[in-house]
């Protein structure tokens, strides 16, 4: 198993921000543990199948999504493959995902969703193009990538997903009929105490403590990627903690040239899951301002890119938009 220092390719915690649930990570982990305990009790009592008895690759519909994806994500990371029969790249990617699901021997489950037959799910996930691959961990959405990827990159992304699922939510899938570590499990890497203290502070809602703890990590290791991500998230939540959303949005709407108002509104947009709105607001602010105001909007946009992740398609699109207004 990889250490928590591995960062998910599309920002593992981004889904938590999208669902306004960064501070709820601890609650999600606790709920996942309760679900696993109940499932174990049911299996022992013969009331339901054990996790090892479930298929590793399955077709999911709108009717089965809640059970097969959301509920199961309390026990194992569920990778969701959005595909369609007419999609050529899907036919290249899907066999790779299926083969890796079998190879990982229970550390993930692959849920395949035909977007033509399940349009409501595709709409709810905001799918704009396929193939698109996401994950659900402890009921929280974790976007992974869109478009075809080679097997080496997919393997790397799955390894990082598994590491985050274990370290963030305590979720470890198990090999069917095995000991719960998976046939391809790697040796466990000891946790980083300083980083764990920062994560724990964030989970408790101690934002000031989390900011300080992440800064402590970065003071010793300035290039620590996960600490940078955690610090960006903690600072974002700290900024919005005392805001009055109605007042902030009214001020931002009343004066588009009020840069501090636009920054506050963008923060609220992001925490509320409106990522494109947050990015678009700041790009527009950069376009209409100059000097220090422009720099403030640009720097805030770069901070929010850190929260969402540099490889997320929305970040990529916003970077391109930012470059157009700057140059």
What six digits make up the tokens of 124?
């709810």
- In sequence order, what are the beta bridge partners of 57? 110
What's the pLDDT at 30? Answer: 52
Q: Is residue 240 classed exposed, middle or buried when 0-12, 13-18 and 19+ CB atoms within 10 A define those classes? A: middle
Each residue's pLDDT, cut to its tens digit, for the chain (327 residues) gives 333 322 233 333 333 343 333 333 444 445 555 555 665 566 566 655 544 456 899 999 999 998 888 888 888 899 999 999 999 999 999 999 999 999 998 899 999 999 999 998 888 888 888 999 999 888 878 888 888 888 888 988 898 888 878 766 677 766 443 344 443 444 334 457 888 888 888 878 888 998 999 999 888 888 777 788 888 888 998 899 888 999 999 999 999 999 999 999 999 998 887 889 999 999 999 999 999 999 999 999 999 988 887 667 788 889 999 999 987
State yes or no: is 83 an active-site residue. no
Quick check: helix, strand or coil at residue 7? coil
> 90 an active-site residue?
yes
User: Quick check: 30 and 178 in contact, CB under 8 A?
Assistant: no
Annotate 28-52 with DSSP letters as a single string: HHHHHHHHHHHHHHHHHTTSS--GG
Question: Residue 311: what pLDDT?
Answer: 65
Show the 3-state SS of 303-314: HHHHHHCCCCHH
- Give the 3-state secondary structure of residue 131: coil
Cα–Cα distance list, 290 to 73, 246, 278, 284, 327 (Å):
47, 28, 20, 12, 13
State the number of CA atoms in the 13 A half-sphere of 58 facing the CB: 16
CA distance linking residue 223 with residue 310, whole number of Å:
15
Quick one: 138 exposed, middle or buried, by C-beta within 10 A (0-12, 13-18, 19+)?
Answer: buried
Q: Which of 25, 51, 90, 142 is catalytic?
A: 90
* Cα-only R_g, the chain: 21
Q: Calculate ∠ Cα 106-123-271, nearest 5°.
A: 80
Task: Answer whether 108's CB lies under 8 Å from 157's CB.
Answer: no
And the tokens for 92? 């290249």
- CA atoms within 13 A of residue 290's CA, in its CB half-sphere: 0
Q: Which long-range contacts (CB under 8 A, 24 or more apart) does 71-74 make?
A: 71/35, 72/109, 73/32, 73/136, 73/137, 73/138, 73/139, 73/140, 73/171, 74/31, 74/32, 74/35, 74/36, 74/39, 74/138, 74/139, 74/171
Non-local (6+) Cβ contacts of 205 within 8 A are: 23
Query: Pick the catalytic residue: 87, 136, 142, 266?
Result: 87
Phi, psi of 108 (to 5 degrees): -140, 165
Gap between the Cα atoms of 164 and 170, Å rounded? 9
Distance CA 282, CA 208 (A): 26
**Whole-number pLDDT of residue 37:** 60
Side-chain-side CA neighbours of 237 within 13 Å: the count stands at 25
């Amino acid at each position: 198993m990889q250490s928590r220092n591995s960062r998910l390719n599309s920002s593992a915690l981004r889904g938590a921000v999208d669902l306004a649930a960064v501070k709820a990570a601890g609650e999600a982990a606790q709920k996942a543990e309760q679900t696993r305990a109940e499932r174990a009790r049911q299996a022992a009592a013969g009331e339901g199948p054990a996790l090892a008895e479930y298929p590793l690759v399955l077709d999911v519909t709108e009717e089965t999504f809640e059970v097969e994806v959301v509920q199961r994500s309390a026990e194992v990371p569920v990778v969701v493959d959005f595909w369609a029969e007419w999609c050529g790249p899907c036919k290249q990617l899907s066999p790779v995902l299926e083969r890796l699901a079998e190879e990982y021997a229970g550390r993930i489950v692959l849920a395949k969703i035909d977007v033509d037959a399940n349009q409501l799910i595709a709409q709810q996930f905001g799918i704009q193009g396929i193939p698109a691959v996401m994950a659900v961990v402890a009921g929280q959405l974790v976007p992974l990538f869109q478009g075809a990827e080679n097997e080496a990159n997919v393997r790397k992304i799955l390894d990082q997903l598994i590491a985050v699922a274990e370290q963030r939510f305590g979720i470890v899938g198990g090999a069917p009929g095995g000991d719960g570590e998976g046939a391809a499990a790697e040796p466990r890497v000891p946790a980083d105490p300083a980083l764990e203290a920062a994560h724990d502070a964030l989970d408790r809602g101690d934002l000031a403590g989390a900011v300080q703890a992440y800064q402590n990590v970065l003071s010793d290791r300035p290039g620590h990627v996960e600490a940078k991500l955690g610090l960006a998230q903690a600072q974002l939540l700290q900024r919005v903690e005392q805001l009055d959303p109605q007042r902030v949005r009214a001020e931002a709407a009343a004066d588009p040239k009020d840069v501090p108002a636009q920054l506050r509104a963008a923060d609220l947009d992001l925490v509320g899951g409106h990522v494109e709105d947050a990015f678009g607001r700041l790009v527009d602010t950069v376009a209409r301002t100059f000097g220090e105001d422009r720099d403030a909007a640009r720097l805030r946009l770069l901070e929010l890119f850190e929260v969402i992740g540099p490889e997320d398609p929305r970040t990529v699109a916003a970077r391109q938009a930012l470059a157009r207004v700057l140059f």
